[in-house]
Structure 1
Amino acid sequence: MSAALAVTALLLTAGCSSDGGGSPGDGTSTSSGGSGTSTGSAPSRQATAQTPPAKGTVKVLRTVTEGLKSPWGLAPLPDGSLLVSSRDDGTITRITEATGKKTELGTVSGVSAAGEGGLLGIALSPDYASDHMIYAYFTTASDNRIARMLYDPKKPAGEQLGAPDTVFRGIPKGFIHNGGRIAFGPDGMLYAGTGESGQRGLAQDKKSLGGKILRLTPDGDPAPGNPFPDSPVYTYGHRNVQGLAWDPEQRLFASEFGQDTWDELNAIKPGDDYGWPNAEGKGDDPKYHNPITQWHTDDASPSGIAYAEGSIWMAGLKGQRLWRVPLDGVTTSAAPQAFLTGEYGRLRTVVSAGGDKLWLMTSNTDGRGTPKPGDDRILEIQVS
């Protein structure tokens, strides 16, 4: 399964109905400068999950690169460099990890960017070492879809990306709530978080692809073992799934935008109903799967997530902070802790860089943030 076993975390997107400003957090952080971004397939997996201490730390080690425009998805390559998708430009750019040099691979044809739609999540093929395929989730004039493209670094810059080969289409699109996070799981299957595109009823309709987590084969077929026969639907009742990550025990977690009250981090169980639009946040109706933790929307608007050092790490857009959620299996072992509150603005994507390191990507040039000199950027951080 090659690179599929290396994929353990990916990230989530935009905030409640819209993702805006933030309020102070309750965590502490240490910084040594810089700012950056990251998303995509995560490197190494630990053999077993660990129970982390109640309190953790975050240290910003460096800024990997600056000057990114509307970055959304991030995928680490085997050589350590990073691929970044631009939501609004529809381009994929390679970042040389050691120097921060940017090389544009090319433009994904068919992208129609508007509102929260455009070129969103990216992931490497589970057989990337042999097929050099990049998967992308993007908005077109008619739908959201997933395609794969050949990456040929031997070609000139701007011409290294092959034509998209669509493997899955028909995901509802809207000005808001397009979902967009994709990741290959430890089982080699392709997972996609979708939004209900502002049409609330789609989330409860198991025949609709909106407001779901989908599980597909690399060729885009419903994956074997899915909970509903001949269906790509893995879970339903979601408002706008933005982040996907697995722990070392291969348990899947997902972050999700709430509306006005509660943003969520969920432990994912195949076939379960996560409640939207009938429930937002924790409730007492056994029909709906409760989140493992929740936040007021001003404090989060969660996007990408990653697993490291026994915790889920969650990027916040409106909340402008990085959340640490220490885990005990599929529950929390201590209260979530906030870091970097307001220091780098909106945070879009967080991806494992191996061990106790993460790539963290900002999102201040997407029309909703207040860009600072150098935005947007990717940071390398160390966590515990």
Structure 2
Amino acid sequence: MRVGTLTTARRGTAALAVVLLCAGPVHAAPRSAAATATRYEAESATIVRGAAESNHSGYSGTGFVNGDNVVGSYVEFTVDAATAGTARIAVRYSNGTAASRAADIAVGGETVFAAHAFRATADWNTWATSTVTTPVTAGGAVTTGGEGGLLGVAVDPDWSANHYVYFMHTASEGNRVARMTYDGSTLGGYKVLLKGIKKNKYHNGGRLAFGPDGYLYASTGEAQDRDLAQDKNSLNGKVLRMTRDGKAAPGNPFGNHVYSYGHRNPQGLAFDRDGRLWEAEFGDSSKDELNLIQPGRNYGWPICEGICSTAGMTDPKKTWKVSEASPSGIAVVRNVIYMAALRGERLWRVPIDGENLGTPTAYYVGSYGRLRTVTAVPGRDELWLSTTNCDINGKEPPGADELFRVSIT
């Protein structure tokens, strides 16, 4: 294989999304004399490593959030700002300890106040308000302060007739699948096809791929709620199969959108020349996976990570140490799987042998940093390969990411 040339990089914008460790409601308002604050109750927000409780007094709403005093605990609110500018965020909280508790405040995925001090109050029944002012951008598309945002893109198989483009992205209520039409210069006609996919800071999944059957497949993470992966009535921790209008595809094994379940944070999806579906998946701390996806199968999470001896679970066809993979996009060319690795900073080549896989070979190890997406170039024995070094993990400056064309020889 050989690597082509740098093409471009991009940055996104987001609406107001506040992520912080707190106990009470948040008020958000633009800075103008006539502005009216909007109240957001913490117990109705997205809560990670904490719980809504009511065993103290003085709170508003139906309760308060008791956040774990650990790194990674947060509460997230999504606010659609009508116009860009600045906004005040007033956080009502209690801190019955004798010391200040520090928490970051992030807006649109960017930390705007690091280690903001929430000072001690007299006791857990005494409340105080901490107010900050921050810039915001207008819009309804949001990140999650982590791995949310624009997650996946797919082009309709009948592109020449309809010019449809499908997206999976993070929105105010969660992750969703949507469709737009490209008119030759711009995208328009935004239409939501599927909502109700829970979002979180991490484990959103989000890849899209059309199968040879004409249906749209989507990978969804369990949104850091492990039990959702085994819940066949949940859209999270799954590979979904749907029509081009977002309805559950006929023939799905459970009569809903679910095609397979028991997934932690599934990523790349690709079909081989015999119509089999392959999927790359982030493991927890032990093993990353490459799975052959079959309808109705249970892929084990959270009971299993990697090879599993539990009855009823489907084992991956290949596993890696997380330091060698942390897989993202996959593509199939000449009936060989190519898998981009983030933490592993390499491109894996894995030959397909029926329903099994041959010996993996690694390319470009450490040469280009974190590799995010690999896509087959239509009609050619080539790949498009992109880096993701400008994210929070890569820490490179804007404009440092690259898009390569790779020839398979």
TM-score by length of 2: 0.67
Q: CA deviation at 1:227?
A: 0.8
Secondary structure of the structure 2 residue equivalent to 1:323: strand
Q: CA deviation at 1:131?
A: 1.6
Q: Deviations over 1:324-365 (max 9, x none)?
A: 1111012013x2111101111111100101442110011111
2:386 match: 361
Q: Does the aligned pair in 2 maintain the 1:70–1:364 contact within 8 Å?
A: no
2:73 match: none
- Equivalents in 2 of 1:188, 1:307: separation in Å? 18
Matched, 1:232 2:257: yes
Counterpart AA for 1:110? G
Among 158, 169, 178, which residue is 1:127 paired with?
158
Change in CA separation of 1:151 and 1:373 when aligned onto 2, cut-off 3 Å: closer
- Equivalents in 2 of 1:109, 1:167: separation in Å? 19
Counterpart AA for 2:188? G
Q: Does the aligned pair in 1 maintain the 2:273–2:335 contact within 8 Å?
A: no
Q: Does the aligned pair in 1 maintain the 2:382–2:406 contact within 8 Å?
A: yes
Among 261, 264, 278, which residue is 2:289 paired with?
264
Among 6, 11, 31, which residue is 1:69 paired with?
11
- Equivalents in 2 of 1:153, 1:109: separation in Å? 24
TM-score by length of 1: 0.71
Matched, 1:245 2:270: yes
- Aligned counterparts, 1:90-169, within 5 A: 110-114=140-144, 115-154=146-185, 160-169=186-195
Q: Does the aligned pair in 1 maintain the 2:260–2:295 contact within 8 Å?
A: yes
Secondary structure of the structure 2 residue equivalent to 1:220: coil
> Aligned pair count?
286
- Equivalents in 2 of 1:146, 1:285: separation in Å? 33
% same residue: 50
- Aligned counterparts, 1:369-380, within 5 A: 369-371=394-396, 375-380=400-405
- Equivalents in 2 of 1:265, 1:278: separation in Å? 17
Change in CA separation of 1:284 and 1:151 when aligned onto 2, cut-off 3 Å: same
Counterpart AA for 1:65? T
- Equivalents in 2 of 1:332, 1:125: separation in Å? 29
Q: Deviations over 1:81-114 (max 9, x none)?
A: xxxxxxx89xxxxxxxxxxxxxxxxx99631112
1:338 match: 362
Change in CA separation of 1:374 and 1:120 when aligned onto 2, cut-off 3 Å: same
Moved more, 218-227 or 363-372: 363-372
2:220 match: 194
Unmatched tracts of structure 2, length 5 or more: 14-107, 110-136
- Equivalents in 2 of 1:257, 1:70: separation in Å? 24
Q: Does the aligned pair in 1 maintain the 2:168–2:206 contact within 8 Å?
A: yes
Among 186, 200, 216, which residue is 1:174 paired with?
200
Moved more, 347-356 or 248-257: 347-356
Change in CA separation of 1:226 and 1:280 when aligned onto 2, cut-off 3 Å: same
Matched, 1:304 2:329: yes
- Equivalents in 2 of 1:270, 1:109: separation in Å? 38
Change in CA separation of 1:373 and 1:118 when aligned onto 2, cut-off 3 Å: closer
Change in CA separation of 1:240 and 1:108 when aligned onto 2, cut-off 3 Å: farther
Matched, 1:328 2:353: yes
- Aligned counterparts, 1:25-44, within 5 A: none
- Equivalents in 1 of 2:235, 2:405: separation in Å? 35
2:311 match: 286
Q: Deviations over 1:292-313 (max 9, x none)?
A: 0000111100000000123100
**Segments of 4+ in structure 1 off by > 4 A?**
none
Counterpart AA for 2:373? T
1:102 match: none
Counterpart AA for 2:204? N
Q: CA deviation at 1:67?
A: 3.3
1:50 match: none
- Equivalents in 2 of 1:108, 1:327: separation in Å? 46
Counterpart AA for 2:143? A
- Equivalents in 1 of 2:280, 2:9: separation in Å? 27
| Higher percent of residues as strand | 2
Q: Does the aligned pair in 2 maintain the 1:345–1:370 contact within 8 Å?
A: no
Q: CA deviation at 1:121?
A: 0.5
- Equivalents in 1 of 2:241, 2:398: separation in Å? 40
- Equivalents in 2 of 1:108, 1:313: separation in Å? 38
Change in CA separation of 1:307 and 1:109 when aligned onto 2, cut-off 3 Å: farther
Change in CA separation of 1:330 and 1:70 when aligned onto 2, cut-off 3 Å: farther
CA RMSD of aligned residues (A): 2.0
Counterpart AA for 1:304? G
Q: CA deviation at 1:204?
A: 0.3
1:313 match: 338
- Equivalents in 1 of 2:311, 2:356: separation in Å? 17
- Equivalents in 2 of 1:113, 1:372: separation in Å? 19
The structure that has the greater radius of gyration is: 2
Matched, 1:59 2:6: no
1:185 match: 211
- Equivalents in 1 of 2:407, 2:397: separation in Å? 23
Moved more, 144-153 or 124-133: 124-133
